[in-house]
Chains A and B, each alone.
Chain A
Amino acid sequence: MPAQYVIGIDLGTTNSVLAYSSLHNEHPLVQLLPLPQLTAPNSIESLPMLPSFLYLCTAEETTAETFAMPGSDDASFVAGHAARKLSAEFPDRTIGAAKSWLGHSKIDRHQAILPWQAASDVAKISPVMASQRYLEHIVAAWHDAFPDAPLVEQHVVLTVPASFDASARELTREAALAAGLPHLFVLLEEPQAATYAWLDAIGDRWRKLLKVGDRMLVCDIGGGTTDLTLVEVAEEDGELTLQRAAVGNHLLVGGDNMDLALAHHVAQLFEEKGTNLDPWQSVSLWHSCRNAKESLLSDEGPDSQTISVPGRGSKLIGGLVSVSVDRAEATELLMNGFLPEANLSERPHKSRASGFREIGLPYEADTGITRHLAAFLNQSLAGSQLTHVLFNGGVFKAKALRGRLLQQLHGWFPENPPNPVEGSDDLDFSVARGACFYGWTKLHGGVRIRGGTARSYYIGIETAGLAIPGAGRPLKALCVVPNGMEEGTEVDVPSDAIGLIVGEAARFRFFSSASRRTDQPGDLLPRWSPDELSETDSLEATLPAGDDAEDDYVPVRFHSRITELGVLELWCVHETTDKRWKLEFSVRDDAD
């Protein structure tokens, strides 16, 4: 059957959303799919978001089907609202932020490592599997609502952070296909999706609001991550076009960090009063702080606010403890901690002071988002003017934070302060909505943001030379994909022939860079700073020993291709016969 719907899925770090539109309408009419999920044992509610949390049941709970989802054949885990609530009480049985692990190239993301630091009796799963579970839940909700329109036959757009590199995207694809997404689904970067949501909201008026040469910052601060993108307005055949000019690095700092910082501050206030909170109360406090954040930051709020933690037993008021939080102090803490005043020339602070560093998610050492933003703008604008800013992410529901960031941008560009563009106020849903709208425009025509790859990619080549005992051969990085390479294009990489041994796996170290924007295929980098190039999963190819091979090695060059769906493919091409072999991401056995 031909597709009836176009579907946008936002697989978020903290919440996931599905938006859809019928293809039979004349204009896209984007709606959110209510997602049935457990809110407590035996209680199912349909909510617009599926919290991206997974609780792994105890053996007893599995047998008793305490958290069984009707229609499911596996009662050993539960995703969504109930899992998020359980995460507070049972952190070592609950998986959160699986997506951040998916983007973490220092670990093997196929290995069952989550929940991180779980007890030994917990059957851990891999970041890829966790992502698959969330998507399976969403896919099942779709089938429950539209039994006559199998998802695998619809047009599906799935969003990923702009900062995800090729291997994180590939892993997302793998989880999505396993969960039942159609083979031809499209990956879209989240800040672009937010921009599409804005384009959908204002219609053709954007052509009046923006002019050639304008540069718009898309600043997306979610629960756990911050994603930055710069969009430029260009002209082509007399028509305005949008071009994604740059993306920032993957920053693991977001709204949850702010809530925690506030909770920590309030817990200290309790301590000063002689009240020590037990773990259960601390969780309750975190919840209160999340809610108090907005009113504490608002300019119209009271000078101080009472934050209380109720008693755990049935005596709610009897067991209540409360403390008064000074608004100025809380504002200072959050603003200076997360959006401190910075110079455009400032760089994020690095702290590598302690000798031990726990292996885990590489949370930002510097939580000052403004300093990360300064570094990004400084590099991507290269002295030109920023004209507009689009805010996205749940954090910006607090007007004060939006105001603070605008104020900072005004400080950086005092002569022509960037204008905030007003889109939908639906900050929690705009990525899914925008993805759906993008799917629509892809099929029916309409404005497109062009950008190509957000990064340039490099293959590590060991150079020939005298071997020095104890030292590896010097490594050079061969650019195989330039920044901005567009979907549906391919390129031969000029280089000396590289000899590959037949019959055994050839492995290549693989690097990417968001900041080196001018490197061209064939450029050979003799050295680079660790900030410029980051290493990701290695690539490998096994060349079968062919019949016509006279030698035990074959000379190859590289050929790279970006498919229409945005998937990066790298090929080794035989110098003379034109035979080709695809390079695949290695399934790593050495988690380092």
Chain B
Amino acid sequence: MGRISLAWRILTSGAFTAKVTQLLDLASKPEAPVALAAPVKPIVPAKSLRSDAVNLLAALQREGRLIDFLKEPIEAYSDSQIGAAVRDIHRDCGEVLERQFAIRPVLDQAEGSAVNLSGQPKGGKIKLTGKVGEGSPSSGTLVHHGWKVSKSELPVWTGDADSASVVAPAEVEVR
């Protein structure tokens, strides 16, 4: 049996516990040499050789073919041809964004409605436009509700340096 449960079994095996106890004993006597225990392999490794940005690009291409779409010259196609393709890209890339970022409005109210600005921390959350004079205005109209991510759970990449720059591998069909 055992698959990824191996790590756990090492952790709870008597041998490991004995070793930890021994290490703790040793630690209290600074003159003793300290041996390192076998590391437990976690499912998600600490360090990845590829940036999160490339991971996101790879996911958007893999599941929504976004790079194919953006890299394809579209001048020659009719709007309906492009429209037919965009539906799928829209749906599949949208799923990736939902899964990894769950993007939600910054202000949870309808665009066009009045916004009470008094007591609202502005900073990066609210951008004032229109007649912005001196002093802080007390209200305004919501033009764009803004977007924020409610999480950031990007895939972790575990490949080697050789393929770190590959967003989508070349596909070769064997006949």
Contacts and interface: CB of A to CB of B under 8 A. Distances in A.
Interface stretch (B118-126, B128-136, B152-160): B152-160
A422 interface: no
B6 A73 contact: yes
A44 B82 contact: no
Contacts of A136: 1-5
Interface of A: 34, 36, 39-47, 69-74, 132-133, 136-137, 139-141, 143-144, 147, 150, 178-180, 288, 291, 306, 308, 310, 312, 314-318, 320, 322
Q: How large is the interface on B (under 10, 10 to 19, 20 to 34, 35 or more residues)?
A: 35 or more
A179 B5 CA distance: 9
A178 B85 contact: no
A43 B157 contact: yes
30 contacts: A36-B44, A42-B158, A43-B55, A43-B58, A43-B156, A44-B158, A46-B44, A47-B99, A70-B42, A71-B41, A72-B4, A72-B6, A73-B6, A74-B2, A136-B1, A139-B8, A140-B43, A144-B4, A144-B44, A147-B11, A306-B84, A310-B85, A312-B171, A315-B72, A316-B69, A316-B85, A317-B72, A317-B74, A320-B84, A320-B85
A141 B58 CA distance: 24
B4 A137 contact: yes
Interface of B: 1-8, 11-12, 40-45, 55, 58-59, 62, 65, 68-69, 71-72, 74, 77, 81-82, 84-85, 87-89, 91, 99-100, 153-159, 163, 171
Nearest to B166: A42
Given A70-B44, A137-B4, A306-B87, 20 more contacts: A43-B157, A45-B99, A45-B154, A46-B44, A46-B153, A69-B4, A137-B3, A144-B42, A178-B1, A288-B88, A308-B84, A308-B87, A308-B88, A310-B68, A310-B85, A310-B88, A314-B68, A317-B69, A317-B77, A317-B81
A44 B156 contact: yes
A144 B43 contact: yes
Nearest to A34: B153
Contact of B43 (A39, A42, A71, A320): A71
B159 A143 contact: no
A45 B99 CA distance: 10
Given A69-B43, A316-B68, A140 B158 contact: no
B1 A71 contact: no
Contacts of B87: 306, 308
B25 to A, nearest CB: 21
A150 B155 contact: no
Nearest to B81: A317
Contacts of B82: 317
A328 to B, nearest CB: 20
B153 A45 contact: yes
A143 B8 contact: yes
Q: Which of A73, A179, A317 has the most CB of B within 10 A?
A: A317
A28 B78 CA distance: 56
Nearest to A150: B12
A343 B100 CA distance: 47
Contacts of A36: 43-44
A29 to B, nearest CB: 19
Nearest to B91: A291
Nearest to A306: B84
Contacts, number: 133
A277 B22 CA distance: 65
A70 B85 contact: no
A267 B4 CA distance: 41
4 A-B pairs with the lowest CB-CB distances in the bound complex, closest first: A140-B4, A42-B159, A143-B8, A71-B41
A277 B109 CA distance: 46
Contact of A143 (B1, B7, B89, B100): B7
B157 A308 contact: no
A123 to B, nearest CB: 15
A40 B158 CA distance: 11
B2 A73 contact: yes
Contacts of B163: 42
A43 B155 contact: yes
Nearest to B58: A43
B22 to A, nearest CB: 20
A16 to B, nearest CB: 15
A74 B158 contact: no
A179 B8 CA distance: 12
Q: Which of B68, B88, B153, B171 has the most CB of A within 10 A?
A: B88
A562 to B, nearest CB: 28
Given A70-B43, A144-B43, A40 B62 contact: yes
A512 B81 CA distance: 58
Nearest to A280: B173
Contacts of A310: 65, 68, 85, 88
Contact of A41 (B11, B12, B100, B159): B159
A43 B59 contact: yes
Contact of A44 (B11, B43, B72, B74): B43
Given A40-B62, A46-B153, A70-B41, A317 B7 contact: no
B63 to A, nearest CB: 8
A180 B3 CA distance: 11
A553 B54 CA distance: 74
A150 B8 contact: yes
Contacts of B99: 45, 47
A181 to B, nearest CB: 11
A140 B155 CA distance: 18
Nearest to A129: B1
A506 to B, nearest CB: 32
Contact of A318 (B11, B72, B84, B91): B72
A477 B6 CA distance: 47
B3 A133 contact: yes
